């Protein structure tokens, strides 16, 4: 198995002529306090692209998304549309078009489904467009439409994940980052959620950066893949080649393709803090509300 920093490179298809990545990371390092979790990550996501980050528990997948979302300090460059984002706040990243569905779902449990969706649109000005988008998400997830006045904390786990995706999309991000959306859900629900993400990408051109342990579904939807191991990129390449490469499968993907251990490397307390910092702090809303 490759050691950190010695990534196995599978040839990547080049970007289109003159194409600037929507998101690009250069030598990204991040962690918590004195503990460095990420060790010089180079990664890119093109417009309209689906990129998947695979890795075992503790590999640094959640830390990666939190660093991109400006929820934790980092060293190295995070670029959006070719521009280095310097000392950005979480709500600034949202306004730049980078949205996040955190691990653990992160719905405001004491607010209704409708109000959770409104919170997701806090950065938008047009009330008419917001109302239209809420109705659209009721059509995408009919279960939410039926429970629009119900408090989020009383929803099932699958319904809460639907709400978390719809809430993040209410900001109309150009890049949606999803952290382990399959965690703890029934296979039928997971298949439905991945189908919605696929449809989003194809119909609206929303780029996706998915962190997953469910390699089977993730590789099926991905155009490119990065394998994260102990905070470093161990291998990367296009999804088809990645999936068919016997050496990569044996070295890295065996445990991922056999099953999913959803212990996660994520502290549930992050969900509350991250949700509020991204969607509520800009307007001082959300005080006193609890996350489910």
Provide the number of structural domains found in the chain.
Answer: 1
Q: What is the mean pLDDT of residues 126-155?
A: 94
Classify the phi-psi angles of 44: left when phi > 0, otherwise alpha if psi is within -120 to 50, otherwise beta. beta
pLDDT of residue 8: 43
The domain of 80 spans: 20-107+175-283
Write out pLDDT tens, residues 215-253.
888 889 999 999 998 999 988 999 988 878 777 766 666
Q: How confident is the model at residue 263 (pLDDT cuts 50, 70, 90)?
A: very low
CATH number at residue 246: 3.40.50.300
Secondary structure letter of residue 112 according to DSSP: B
Q: How confident is the model at residue 277 (pLDDT cuts 50, 70, 90)?
A: low
Q: Is 47 a domain residue?
A: yes
Q: Using CA atoms, how far apart are residues 207 and 48, in angstroms rounded to an integer?
A: 4
Write out pLDDT tens, residues 154-197.
999 999 999 999 999 999 999 999 999 998 899 999 999 999 99
Q: Is 15 a domain residue?
A: no
Q: Is 130 a domain residue?
A: no
Q: Is 223 a domain residue?
A: yes
120: tokens are 């997701």
Place of tokens 């298949």: 191
Q: Is 144 a domain residue?
A: no
Phi, psi torsion values for 209, nearest 5 degrees: -120, 105
Q: Using CA atoms, how far apart are residues 211 and 195, in angstroms rounded to an integer?
A: 16
- Checking if the pLDDT of 268 tops 90, the result is no
Q: Is 101 a domain residue?
A: yes
Nearest alpha-carbon partner for 212 in 230, 225, 231: 225
Q: Is 134 a domain residue?
A: no
Q: Using CA atoms, how far apart are residues 29 and 197, in angstroms rounded to an integer?
A: 28
Q: What is the mean pLDDT of residues 104-114?
A: 87
Radius of gyration of the chain (CA): 18
Q: Is 199 a domain residue?
A: yes
Q: What is the mean pLDDT of residues 56-84?
A: 92
């Amino acid at each position: 198995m490759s050691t950190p920093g010695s990534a196995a490179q599978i040839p990547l298809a080049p970007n289109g002529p003159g194409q600037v990545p929507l998101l690009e990371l250069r030598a990204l390092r991040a962690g918590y306090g004195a503990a460095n979790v990420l060790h010089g990550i180079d990664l890119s996501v093109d417009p309209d692209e689906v990129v998947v980050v695979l890795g075992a528990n503790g590999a640094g997948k959640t830390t990666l998304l939190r660093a991109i979302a400006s929820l934790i300090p980092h060293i190295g460059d995070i670029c959006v549309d070719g521009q280095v984002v310097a000392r950005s706040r979480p709500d600034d990243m949202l306004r730049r078009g980078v949205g996040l569905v955190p691990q653990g779902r992160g719905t405001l449990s004491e607010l209704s489904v409708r109000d959770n969706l409104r919170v997701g649109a806090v950065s938008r000005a047009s009330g008419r467009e917001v109302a239209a988008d809420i109705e659209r998400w009721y059509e995408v997830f009919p279960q939410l439409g039926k429970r629009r006045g119900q408090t989020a904390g009383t929803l099932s786990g699958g319904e809460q994940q639907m709400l978390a995706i719809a809430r993040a999309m209410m900001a109309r991000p150009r890049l949606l980052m999803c952290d382990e959306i399959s965690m703890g859900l029934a296979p039928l629900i997971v298949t439905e959620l991945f189908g919605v993400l696929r449809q989003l990408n194809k119909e609206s051109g929303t780029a996706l950066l998915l962190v997953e342990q469910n390699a089977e579904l993730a590789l099926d939807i991905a155009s490119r893949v990065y394998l994260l191991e102990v905070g470093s990129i161990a291998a990367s390449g296009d999804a088809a080649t990645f999936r068919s490469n016997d050496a990569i499968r044996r070295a890295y993907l065996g445990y991922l393709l056999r099953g999913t251990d959803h212990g996660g490397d994520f502290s549930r307390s992050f969900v509350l803090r991250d949700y509020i910092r991204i969607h509520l702090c800009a307007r001082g809303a959300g005080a006193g509300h609890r996350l489910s």
